[in-house]
Amino acid sequence: MTLTLAQYRTAVLALLDDASSERYTSDQIDAALKLALIDYSSLRPIPRTYYFDTTGDKVMELPADFAARQITRVQAFGSNDPNSIYDLDFIARLIDEQWTLEIIGSNGKRSNIIYPAGDVLVITYADFQSIDGLNGAVVTTIDDDNLICMGAAGYAAQSRSVSRSETINMQPAVQRQLMDLANQYFGQFFARLHQNKGLVMAAFGDMPADE
């Protein structure tokens, strides 16, 4: 079931035993969700493909609105058989939020090939996970709501345990309890994230192209 941002906040507060939000604000929970989302996206990215019309340049700029965590594969269609496709060796760079792509060969063989403008390359990339209403996202893609909430609970507890404004009047025992709680949730969060990493990354094989 896809949750709203408000429902994620409620679920994280429940894990922190603060249902009335007396100790954690919405801003603190949102900050914790953002950190957990970075980890979640790193180990459970969304595999997507993109058809790119080449520009005729050696180093090609992808569209400004192309957003990805990582470009994992670039392929081209065979010149003699349009139904065949083969892998290319490439260098992808992200500088100032702008992706560039340089083809340096294929099948491990270096070459200075420059694709003429209008040829089509198939780019497979890792996309970010998102929560509707967080970081400006308009859709929720999380497939394990409980897991992301565990990670957020860990980050929220950790933040409170090290914040000077929080700990200046905090008893050492309470600070230790918060760190123990953070480590408990982090342990479960990262263990379960890594369990399915292999299955997720295997999805970066043959993918239907996004329209």
Say whether both 109 and 155 belong to one domain: no
Q: Which residue type sits at 88?
A: L
Distance CA 62, CA 75 (A): 15
Task: Please give the pLDDT value at position 125.
Answer: 96
The answer to the question of residue 209 being in a domain is no
Which pLDDT belongs to residue 1? Answer: 60
100 and 70 within one domain = yes
Count structural domains, the chain: 2
Does the CA dihedral 94-95-96-98 come out positive or negative? negative
* 151/131 Cα distance (integer angstroms): 14
Pairing mode of beta strands 59-61, 70-77: unpaired
Secondary structure of 99-134 as H, E, C letters? EEEEEEEECCEECCCCCCCCCEEEEEEEECCCCCCC
Name the token pair of 196.
Answer: 């399915």
Q: Structure pTM?
A: 0.76
Q: What is the full per-residue pLDDT of the chain (211 aa) written as tens digits?
A: 678 899 999 999 999 999 999 999 999 999 999 999 999 999 999 999 999 999 999 999 999 999 999 999 999 987 777 778 889 999 999 999 999 999 998 877 788 788 888 899 999 999 999 999 999 999 999 999 999 999 999 999 999 888 765 666 778 888 899 999 999 999 999 999 988 655 444 444 444 444 3
Quote the pLDDT of residue 197.
58
Q: Are residues 189 and 169 in the same domain?
A: yes
Angle between helices 26-43 and 145-162 (to 10 degrees): 120
Give the residue from 127, 159, 187 where a domain finishes.
127
Residue 164 lies in a domain: yes
Q: Which domain holds residue 119?
A: 46-127
